[in-house]
Amino acid sequence: MTPPHPVLGSAAAAASMAALALGYRAGFGARSQGFGPFPYHGSTGARVVALTFDDGPNEPWTSRLLDVLGGREVPATFFQVGRCAQRHPDVTRRVLAEGHVLGNHSLSHAFRRYLTDPRQDEEVRGGQEVLAEVSGVTPLLYRPPWLCHWPWVLGGVARSGSAVVSGTFAHPLEVVQPAARRLTDGAVRRAEPGAMLILHDGREARGGNRAQTVAAVGPLVDRLRARGYTFTTVDRLLGVPAYR
Ligand SMILES: [Zn+2]
């Protein structure tokens, strides 16, 4: 075998890297619409935002977060993982009882389950069914783990009768818990009319310490209110039903 021509070889490698990068961006970018509608924003000019929390319930952090939100009378949207809701069903029920909205964030949050169409159906519907058993409502808002919106993911969401939801990461490193002050600063900077700010009260289906996120939320609410913002939930912001 002859080795590839060095120039052509590197051009081909560069081209395939570029194609990969584009595919990744189309399939995972929070704002990319390449495979179909992937709403990341409500269409409003008013100073209103939706705070969203993914990967819970996860104790004691979800309960502490509910205390912070309740103390400030801020409604939020919780995209919960089915397996986590099975671990903490009482916390899932508390989310609803306190006026927040419950969304679906898959059954298991497992990356390998993204790879085929039937598995994706199991993830979307499985999450929906577990959350329905636990809470008594069937969520129709679906935020895919890692915001993956490959065509078969969008297909699975549509087949479940759900609406897919993206958002804006409140801080690019929030998942790994930098200091609360940095999280608050980042989230205040990214807030704009109609934004759905993404934070995490867990990490995938594994739980973990979310102290910095919990500590960031009170000051975030206070600073946004000082700028004239009010808070709503994703279903109201997008004008779609939260439950079947
Ligand atoms: Zn997630």
Q: Ligand 1: distance of its center to the CA of 203 in Å?
A: 7
Taking all residues of the chain, what is their mean pLDDT, rounded to a whole number? 93
Within 8 A by CB and 6+ apart from 114, the residues are 120, 123, 145, 148, 150, 153
At residue 49, φ and ψ (nearest 5 deg) are -135, 160
pLDDT in tens, 103-142: 999 999 997 777 777 888 999 999 999 999 999 999 999 9
Q: What does the pLDDT read at residue 9?
A: 59
Higher-pLDDT residue of 12, 142? 142
Q: Ligand 1: distance of its center to the CA of 4 in Å?
A: 41
> Could you give the CA distance from residue 147 to residue 53 in angstroms, rounded to a whole number?
13
Name beta bridge partners: 104: 80, 142
The answer to whether the CB of 60 falls within 8 A of the CB of 83 is no
pLDDT in tens, 61-101: 999 999 999 999 999 999 999 999 999 999 999 999 999 99
Q: Ligand 1: distance of its center to the CA of 55 in Å?
A: 5
Q: Ligand 1: distance of its center to the CA of 200 in Å?
A: 7
| H/E element, 214 | helix 211-226
Distance of CA 114 to the CA centre of its chain: 16
pTM: predicted TM-score of the whole model, two decimal places: 0.92
Q: Is the pLDDT of residue 156 over 60?
A: yes
Q: Is the pLDDT of residue 54 over 70?
A: yes
